[in-house]
């Protein structure tokens, strides 16, 4: 095919920014004038990216469908291609005569390196190549300690991050887009084979509405109905206390700036002072997401290696059968099993329960935290290299600002405290549904005859605990002492 004469076409390379409002790349393209070619490129395995997990692929399929619809309504299709990013973009430049490529930045170490190469490769051809911040409140390199280094403790990080933060108004979506004046070949989204072959994701559909519209509806609903009670409901897995925005944020269907500004508008309307709402529990959690990206950017080895080096000596006890029991929600600890089954069925787990199941894997079973992180990566719809790494290293005690290793969650008392009636466990572990609240978190404490009357036979209808809490705790502390002593 003959190269097309250069013209004022801008290619917008969509990645984890699958929205049109407050999207700096699409905004820049529409400001340039001329035609716009939105493109999504699938080829992550070849470029050092962590291969997307099954649940994330399911989400991506739906989200791309939603983005495509929005783009079509503005007058242009979404072009879907497979291959290495630079090669595909060069090819599209040749086919369309585009003079610019724009995208929003990502912060995973391999992607940073890849994108740098793409930018250089395009510029070498005389193509404008520009990237923007579309997914963080502050770029990770702009928040520095007094000595100019990265933060490793959350509270001062978040204070510093907020101190210079006056986000401008969110960028409006383009009212329309001019398509390129020739047909450009595209795969269909289905061609990418993102949807699971087994019927695993059937439980996802009733729970989630991937896409920009779903994200916006969830934010509005949360801010108008649940934000007020967030500070005390956020730790209760038995309540709808949190926003569930995490997969939408991960795929960039909504930006943290939109969240920040929406929260600010509501606070202003109710006369809340800016210090008060900026310190609100909800925005603080959004701050943890910023912190996760800050850490991933400055400590790029942490998805696999502990931030605190002494933990590389930790005497983990890899055990495939124990790992499988944990993955399947068959540990014999109802809160842990409920969490793992909620994850499998819906692709999401409540934060409090994530901490409990992660602690159980690492401290009760002495399995390496990386095994748990890998399972989460495959099964979470919000699987995110930055937040998942932070969550696992925090729980294992080997990361920045982490829970000390010796603080070992007791899954029974965690259940009694945060799921006092047992509603959460009854939802996800139906074989225990008839147990009264005082036994639901420790069925082994109930007399066997009474358990039988309630339809439970331990070891048959529901497993016995795979480890005893006090023994596991003592073992974990001994392993930790060995690590610290360098034994
Ligand atoms: P909300 O409570 O409504 O919070 C609002 C937003 O703040 C969230 O959507 C999320 O973007 C951010 N946020 C909240 N808590 C945290 C946190 N502790 N760390 C970072 N960001 C946070 N979150 C992910 O998005 N992806 C992951 O892969 C992930 N893996 C985790 C693994 C472990 C072991 C643990 C303990 C936590 C993990 N988290 C992860 C953090 C947290 O559990 C989820 O962000 C949260 O449960 C999402 O639910 P929500 O949107 O209702 O949160």
pLDDT tens string 114-129: 999 999 999 999 999 9
Question: Angle at Cα 109 formed by Cα 104 and Cα 113, nearest 5°?
Answer: 70
Q: What is the Cα–Cα distance from 399 to 288, expressed in whole angstroms?
A: 14
CA of 478 to the centre of ligand 1 (A): 31
> What average pLDDT does the chain have?
94
Q: Is the CB of 236 under 6 A from ligand 1?
A: no
Which residues are known to be catalytic?
285, 288, 316, 351, 369, 392
pLDDT tens string 157-176: 999 998 877 778 899 999 99
**DSSP character string of 67-80:** HHHHHHHHT-PPEE
The token pair at 127 is 């193509």
pLDDT tens string 452-474: 999 999 999 999 999 999 999 99
Q: Minimum mean pLDDT among 55-64, 225-234, 363-372, 424-433: which range? A: 225-234
pLDDT tens string 176-186: 999 999 999 99
Q: Is the CB of 389 under 6 A from ligand 1?
A: no
Pick the residue whose CA is nearest to atom 45 on ligand 1.
Answer: 246
CA of 244 to the centre of ligand 1 (A): 9
Q: Is the CB of 78 under 6 A from ligand 1?
A: no
How much is the average pLDDT of 80-109? 97
Show the DSSP H helices in 301-405 as ranges. 320-327, 334-346, 351-359, 369-379, 385-396
Residue 235 phi/psi, 5-degree rounding, is -95, 5
Q: What pTM, to 2 d.p., does this model score?
A: 0.97
pLDDT tens string 36-46: 999 999 986 76
Q: What is the Cα–Cα distance from 246 to 224, expressed in whole angstroms?
A: 18
Q: Is the CB of 250 under 6 A from ligand 1?
A: yes
Ligand 1 atom nearest the C-alpha of 250 is: 25
pLDDT for 3 equals 65
CA of 75 to the centre of ligand 1 (A): 36
428: pLDDT strictly greater than 60: yes
CA of 178 to the centre of ligand 1 (A): 38
pLDDT for 259 equals 95
Q: Is the dihedral of CA 346, 351, 352, 357 positive or negative?
A: positive
How would residue 487 be classed by pLDDT, with cut points 50, 70 and 90?
very low
CA of 349 to the centre of ligand 1 (A): 9
pLDDT for 2 equals 59
Q: Is the CB of 242 under 6 A from ligand 1?
A: yes
Q: Is the CB of 259 under 6 A from ligand 1?
A: no
The token pair at 298 is 């400055």
Determine the length of the chain.
487
In order of 311, 325, 405, 483, the CA distances from 408 in angstroms are 16, 20, 7, 16
How much is the average pLDDT of 438-442? 97
How much is the average pLDDT of 19-46? 93
């Amino acid at each position: 095919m003959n190269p097309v004469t250069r013209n004022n076409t801008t290619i917008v390379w969509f990645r984890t920014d699958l929205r049109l409002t407050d999207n700096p790349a699409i905004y820049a393209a529409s400001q340039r004038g001329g035609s716009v070619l939105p493109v999504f490129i699938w080829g992550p395995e070849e470029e050092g990216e962590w291969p997307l997990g099954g649940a994330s692929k399911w989400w991506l399929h739906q989200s791309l469908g939603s983005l495509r619809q929005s783009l079509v309504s503005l007058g242009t299709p979404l072009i879907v291609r497979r291959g290495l990013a630079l090669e595909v973009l060069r090819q599209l430049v040749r086919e369309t005569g585009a003079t610019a490529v724009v995208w929003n930045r990502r912060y995973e170490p391999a992607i940073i390196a890849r994108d740098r190469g793409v930018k250089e490769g395009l510029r070498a051809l005389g193509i404008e190549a520009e990237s923007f911040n579309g997914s963080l409140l502050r770029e990770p390199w702009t928040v520095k300690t007094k000595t100019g280094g990265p933060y490793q403790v959350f509270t001062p990080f978040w204070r510093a991050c907020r101190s210079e933060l006056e986000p401008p108004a969110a960028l409006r979506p383009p009212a329309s887009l001019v398509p390129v004046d020739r047909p450009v070949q595209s795969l269909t989204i289905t061609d990418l084979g993102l949807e699971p072959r087994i019927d695993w994701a059937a439980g996802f559909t009733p729970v989630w509405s991937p896409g920009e519209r779903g994200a916006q509806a969830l934010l509005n609903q949360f801010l108008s109905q649940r934000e007020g009670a967030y500070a005390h409901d956020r730790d209760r897995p038995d309540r709808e206390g949190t926003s569930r925005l995490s997969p939408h944020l991960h795929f960039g269907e909504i930006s943290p700036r939109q969240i920040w500004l929406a929260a600010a508008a509501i606070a202003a309307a109710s006369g809340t002072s800016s210090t008060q709402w900026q310190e609100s529990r909800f925005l603080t959690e959004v701050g943890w997401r910023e912190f996760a990206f800050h850490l991933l950017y400055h400590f790029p080895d942490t998805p696999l290696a502990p931030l605190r080096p002494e933990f590389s000596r930790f005497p983990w006890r890899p055990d495939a059968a124990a790992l499988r029991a944990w993955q399947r929600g068959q540990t014999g600890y109802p809160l842990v099993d409920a969490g793992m089954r909620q994850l499998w069925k819906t692709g999401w787990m409540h934060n409090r329960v994530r901490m409990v199941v992660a602690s159980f894997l690492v401290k009760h079973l002495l399995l390496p935290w990386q095994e748990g992180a890998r399972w989460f990566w495959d099964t979470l719809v919000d699987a995110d290299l930055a937040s998942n790494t932070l969550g696992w290293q925090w729980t294992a005690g080997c990361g920045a600002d982490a829970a000390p290793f010796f603080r070992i969650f007791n899954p029974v008392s965690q259940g009694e405290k945060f799921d006092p009636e047992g509603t959460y466990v009854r939802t996800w572990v139906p074989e225990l549904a008839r147990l009264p609240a005082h036994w639901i978190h420790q069925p082994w404490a109930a007399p066997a005859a009474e358990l039988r009357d309630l339809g439970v036979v331990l070891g048959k209808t529901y497993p016995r605990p795979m480890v005893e809490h006090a023994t596991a705790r003592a073992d974990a502390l001994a392993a930790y002492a060995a690590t610290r002593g360098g034994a």
